[in-house]
Amino acid sequence: MRIDRLRLFEVSLPLVHGFETSSHRKTHLDHILVAATDADGRTGWGEIASPADPYYGSETTATAWSIALRYLVPAALGAEWDTPAQLESQWQRVRGHEFAKAGFSAAAWDLHARDLGVSLATALGGTRTEVVAGVSLGIEPGIDALLAQVQRQTDAGYGRVKLKIAPGWDLEPVRAVRSAHPDLDLHVDANGAYPDDDAAAAVFRALDDERLTMIEQPFAPRDFVAHARLQQALSTPICLDESVVDLGDLRTMLALDAGRVLNIKVSRMGGLTVAREAHDLAADAGIPVWCGGMHEFGVGRAANVALSAMPNFVLPSDVSGSDKYFARDVVVPAIVAHAGRVSVPTAPGIGHEVDEEWVRHNTSRTFDTAAA
């Protein structure tokens, strides 16, 4: 296999409902779509889902664009490969920049699966025919607005809800949602917003009584020791997200018992090959995983659905339907959830076609090796 042409599209789409985390609020997304075309004219698609600003991680849309043009396009173009892992080895010496790499990895996997004539899920080793989806709800202006969002999503059929929390927005909203929905599969995500101090410990001890499925990333990404200490003090599992960027981080988490659940994000880990390895390592260690999201457009979302078909994705994933995020997605058909479940496509590759006209309509800049 050889990629003879690469195109990049920086695409901006508004969110149907603004989203606020512990660090910031966003109303639209600027993601980069990667189209990789082989010698036979077949195209694979991937998505660089970096946030525009460096608040989730250190990357931005602008750094991803720059790294893609300067390092990843030259590494991928013209290389001979049989498996996506072989292609990824071309950019192995580039440190960091996982989101940028993930877009190229996903395009290679889509192309690889299309070449084999199988679905991406099958190519990855996925066995599920449908995956259970959950919704992630941002910080709302008040408790009533949050309760309205939870009601809206549970009415839409979702059985798992994750709430963003931050110091000052934690016990009160969680208790309100819990008392309105006693049986809801509920968890919280702090995006690393808490300092490792006594006040935070008191909040987490109180949250331990709310029957949460997990508490996601309470402390700063590199603070494995703080997570380990908290995990020993709680019965609620801690889930790591931002802390685990590579397999070494996952081994640290396991060695220190710094978390008992893993959120696998294709973007955060630099692509589908590493995501799959993390799945296997976690499975061997008895750690359940789920697939986290970065508000992906349909291209990245479809890859997340395919990954979630793997056996150890036993917890609901952040792969809700396109309509939770966008009035019109960039893929056809859009991704749909029925009763909180998304079916895993059986068509080759990601199983959705890219609506190139809609992509172009929303594109702010493009790059094409055929035009360069």
Q: Does residue 26 carry a catalytic annotation?
A: no
Q: Which residues does residue 331 pair with via DSSP β-bridges, in sequence order?
A: 354
Q: Smaller CB distance to ligand OSB: residue 259 or 293?
A: 293
Closest distance of CB 85 from ligand OSB, Å: 26
The stretch among 1-9, 119-127, 290-298, 345-353 that binds ligand OSB (CB under 6 A) is 290-298
Q: Does residue 265 carry a catalytic annotation?
A: yes
Closest distance of CB 286 from ligand OSB, Å: 23
Q: Of ligand OSB, Mg ion, none, which one does residue 71 interact with (CB within 5 to 8 Å by kind)?
A: none
196 Rama sector, left if φ>0, alpha if ψ -120 to 50, beta otherwise: beta
The stretch among 3-11, 28-36, 70-78, 235-243 that binds Mg ion (CB under 5 A) is 235-243
346 Rama sector, left if φ>0, alpha if ψ -120 to 50, beta otherwise: alpha
Catalytic residue among 26, 101, 162, 164: 164
241 near Mg ion, rule: CB under 5 A: yes
Which of the residues 129 through 188 are near ligand OSB (CB under 6 A)? 136
Interacting residue with ligand OSB among 10, 30, 241, 249 (CB under 6 A): 241
Q: Smaller CB distance to ligand OSB: residue 278 or 294?
A: 294
Determine contact, residues 211/235, Cβ cutoff 8 Å. no
Interacting residue with ligand OSB among 44, 292, 300, 345 (CB under 6 A): 292
The stretch among 58-66, 67-75, 152-160, 287-295 that binds ligand OSB (CB under 6 A) is 287-295
How far apart, in whole angstroms, are the C-alpha atoms of residue 152 and residue 90? 46
Determine contact, residues 240/230, Cβ cutoff 8 Å. no
Which of the residues 81 through 120 are near Mg ion (CB under 5 A)? none
318 near ligand OSB, rule: CB under 6 A: yes
Determine contact, residues 192/166, Cβ cutoff 8 Å. no
If you search the block for the tokens 């697939």, which residue do you land on?
A: 291
Closest distance of CB 116 from ligand OSB, Å: 28
Determine contact, residues 253/244, Cβ cutoff 8 Å. yes
Which of the residues 181 through 200 are near Mg ion (CB under 5 A)? 189
| Helical H segments across the chain, by residue range | 61-67, 73-76, 84-88, 98-116, 120-124, 143-155, 171-180, 198-207, 224-233, 247-256, 272-284, 298-307, 356-361
Phi, psi of 363, deg, nearest 5: -90, 130
How far apart, in whole angstroms, are the C-alpha atoms of residue 301 and residue 273? 16
- The one-letter amino acid at 26: K
103 near ligand OSB, rule: CB under 6 A: no
Binding site for Mg ion (CB under 5 A): 189, 216, 241
Which residues participate in catalysis according to the annotation? Answer: 164, 265
Binding site for ligand OSB (CB under 6 A): 21, 56, 136, 189, 191, 241, 292-295, 318, 320
